[in-house]
Amino acid sequence: MTVLRAAIVALFIWPALAGAAPEPAVELNGRVLQELYGGVVVDQTITVAGQDFYQYFIVLWRDKPLSEQYAISIHERPSARWGNQVWIEFAQRRVFQTILPASRAGIKPVSEQAAEIAYQNVVDTEVQRLLFRDLDLGADEM
């Protein structure tokens, strides 16, 4: 059972099975989902270098103020020719992208830089979303 499915079961189905009074229905539109899953960092890395990057990144990400409000995902694409490409997504946008160094010792400085740049880009994206309104564009298109 995936983590997401387990969370849904724990939040919505389990109280009903246990005989608890049903809670009012939660509106599951985009904004409520973002608040519900805020703070989730999805790890989509594959290699040992990608896992090291994720471990270093997550420690620094959790130290950022209000980072628990943002759901991000870390992806990796290993390549024998180009090295391990890593990118971080927020709201279906890439906020950081790099190629990991060949040595494991060089991964920590890259992850520190990634945490700073990704956090700044996430905050900038949120500010832009809050300030810019266009009736012709949906929330995910801004």
Instruction: Establish if 51 belongs to a structural domain.
Output: yes
133 falls in which pLDDT band (50, 70, 90)? Answer: confident
Report pLDDT for 138. Answer: 65
Which of 18-32, 69-83, 120-134 is predicted with the least confidence, judged by mean pLDDT? 18-32
15 falls in which pLDDT band (50, 70, 90)? Answer: very low
Report pLDDT for 131. Answer: 83
Domain count, the chain: 1
Instruction: Give 50-109 pLDDT, tens digit per residue.
Output: 999 999 999 999 999 888 889 999 999 998 888 899 999 998 899 999 999 988 999 999
Q: What is the extent of the structural domain holding 110?
A: 38-133
Instruction: Establish if 72 belongs to a structural domain.
Output: yes
Q: Is pLDDT at 116 greater than 90 in this prediction? A: yes
Instruction: Establish if 95 belongs to a structural domain.
Output: yes
Query: What pTM, to 2 d.p., does this model score?
Result: 0.69
Please spell the DSSP secondary structure of the chain, one letter per residue: --HHHHHHIIIIIHHHHTTPPPPPPPP-SHHHHHHHTTT-EEEE--SHHHHHHHHHHHHHHHTSTTGGG--EEEEEE--TTT--EEEEEETTEEEEEEE--SSGGGHHHHHHHHHHHHHHHHHHHHHHHHH---TTS-GGG-
